[in-house]
Amino acid sequence: MRISDLSRLSGVPITTIKYYLREGLLPPGTPTAHNQAVYDDDHLRRLRLIRALVSVRGLSVNATAELLEALSRDDGDLHRTLGLVLGALPVGEHPAGDQPAGDTVPRARLEEAEKLIEALGWRIHRRSEGRLALARALYEMAEVGLPLRVETLVPYARLTERIAALDLDQLAGDEDDHIDIAERAVLTTILLEPVLLLLRRMAQENESASRHGTGEEPR
Amino acid sequence: MRISDLSRLSGVPITTIKYYLREGLLPPGTPTAHNQAVYDDDHLRRLRLIRALVSVRGLSVNATAELLEALSRDDGDLHRTLGLVLGALPVGEHPAGDQPAGDTVPRARLEEAEKLIEALGWRIHRRSEGRLALARALYEMAEVGLPLRVETLVPYARLTERIAALDLDQLAGDEDDHIDIAERAVLTTILLEPVLLLLRRMAQENESASRHGTGEEPR
DNA sequence: GAACGTGGAGAGTGATACTCTCCACTCTCT
DNA sequence: AGAGAGTGGAGAGTATCACTCTCCACGTTC
């Protein structure tokens, strides 16, 4: 398949595909002549993945490149792969350590994050991005006037445990070979995020309707 | 308080504050002379809220403006306010209806979203953003090779129901007046999102460690 | 009354994700 | 075999966004 086919099948403009090639998001096709190359279904699949990460989840092209690079070093070990995926991912809008952290996140918040993890009994890798990111998130909530206490967070965390269990079931089951495990890990973790947030919002609307008195006309 | 105080207390540069004023994110101060004005604590609080939405959650300045505008029309009715907040919020990276939807989201997905909502027994407003956004999210998952079936989503949705219940408890309780209910709804809904996603990721790591065999050294 | 701060507005900046333009070459159709 | 379209590659240009800078006439403070 040539680049125009790739473009036609994916809906991504040729120039954009070239751009992704240049940026290393997409591996080069196998060359057939000095300036000709062919692409295969892997390229198509990869391209769709890129578009999903970039346009659905809003990952930056750079972050996507890093993530895909980590994925390509995958050795089939689910636990390791998941670690890679989780580690390579920005959560909020912190475009790669914009500040030396020592100043932005006071030690007190870091300790609070540790305390939460300990209270939950979770085993999280010492150097996991999550610890710092969590501390930062807690710090920001406190800054804006809504400090979150450990007692408040624990019930939330318990529910996320069960979500995570569902996630891993998803990953473990469904041994259809056409998508490899690493890619499924990415999809399940990252692309499910907006779905979960949406479900939460709708559940809030529903819960609010229930509590507020059911007289509310759906109309 | 003058603009420099606002800047000093919030850490936001004066020029940026002026920019927010121009864009209508921040209401003008009360003028004391032809070119002098004073600001109060509300401005400071509002400014912190803006920064949280923009830099923590990555909301665009425009979306933030719309949200704040909706908030300022708040009448103290929690259910209504929550509706406003939820309605004014982008979830993914769809910067305000970039396509006429009829083409991008096939009717089949819309029906699937409806089916899910029905299966859950949720009461969601007919014209809720959520329906379309959910359909779009499902469509995108399917596009990328990981179609989500209703049976798969229901257990997730049940957990989000419980998260939503916690959210509303948070909102209902804590009758400390210094932050009004509308603002707390925004904070709880939006700023908790990254925290929840982080917790989910860490829970995944934990769950994966448990399942994968506990021999894994934390190191 | 001098130095500094202020509100307001327009222009400039830096980052990002494309998108356009060229070019020498290759493929495809007839 | 020859014409027209397509290709890989690379550099330059564009659009958007969130600031950020610069100016200016005027206030405020010491």
Domains of chain A: 1-56 (1.10.1660.10), 57-205 (no CATH)
User: Residue A159 and residue B169: Cα distance in Å, rounded?
Assistant: 15
**Which nucleotide is at minimal CA–C1' distance from A15?**
C19
Which nucleotides of chain D does any protein CB come within 7 A of? 6-11, 17-22, 25-28
Among A87-101, B5-19, B54-68, B181-195, name the most confident range.
B5-19
Say which nucleotide is closest to residue A28, CA to C1' distance. D8
Across the interface, of A197, A207, A219, the residue whose CB is closest to B165 is A207
pLDDT for the residue numbered A51: 93
Asked if the Cβ–Cβ distance from A55 to B93 is below 8 Å, we say yes
When CB atoms are compared, the residue of B161, B178, B184 closest to A203 is B161
Q: Do A205 and B128 touch (CB under 8 A)?
A: yes
CB pair distance less than 8 Å for B79 and A128:
no
Range B27-56 average pLDDT: 92
Beta-bridge partner residues of A38? A30
Q: Is the pLDDT confidence value at B30 over 50? A: yes
Q: Please choose, from the candidates B216, B102, B24, B86, the residue with its C-alpha nearest in 3D space to the C-alpha of residue A199.
A: B86
Mean pLDDT (whole number) for B86-93: 69
Nucleotide in closest CA–C1' contact with A55: C17
In which residue are the tokens 């859950």 written?
B120
| CA→C1' distance for A104 and D14 (Å) | 36
Mean of pLDDT over chain A: 85
Residues 6 or more apart whose CB falls under 8 angstroms from that of A198 comprise: B91, B130, B133, B134, B137
Where does the pLDDT of residue A104 fall: very low under 50, low under 70, confident under 90, or very high at 90 and above? low
- DSSP helix/strand/coil, B135: helix
Measured in angstroms, the CA of B34 and the nearest CA of chain A are apart by: 32
CA distances from A67 to A19, A54, A87, A190 (A): 17, 12, 9, 11
B96: pLDDT confidence band, cut at 50, 70 and 90?
A: very low
* Whether A29 CB is under 7 Å from strand D: yes
CB atoms within 10 A of CB B183: 21
Residue A71: count other Cβ atoms within 10 Å of its Cβ: 19
- A155-178 pLDDT, tens digit per residue, is 999 999 999 999 999 888 666 555
How many whole angstroms separate alpha carbon A110 and alpha carbon A113? 5
Cα A154 to chain centroid distance, Å, stands at 22
Calculate how close chain A gets to B157, using CA atoms only, in Å: 6
pLDDT of A216 strictly over 80: no
Q: Above 80 in pLDDT, residue B103?
A: no
List, as one string, the DSSP characters of A123-172: ---TT-HHHHHHHHHHHHHHHTT----HHHHHHHHHHHHHHHHHHHHHHH
Q: Which residues of B touch A162 (CB under 8 A)?
A: 159
Any idea which of A184-193, B47-56, B207-216 has the lowest mean pLDDT? Answer: B207-216
Tell me how close the Cα of A62 comes to any Cα of chain B, in angstroms: 17
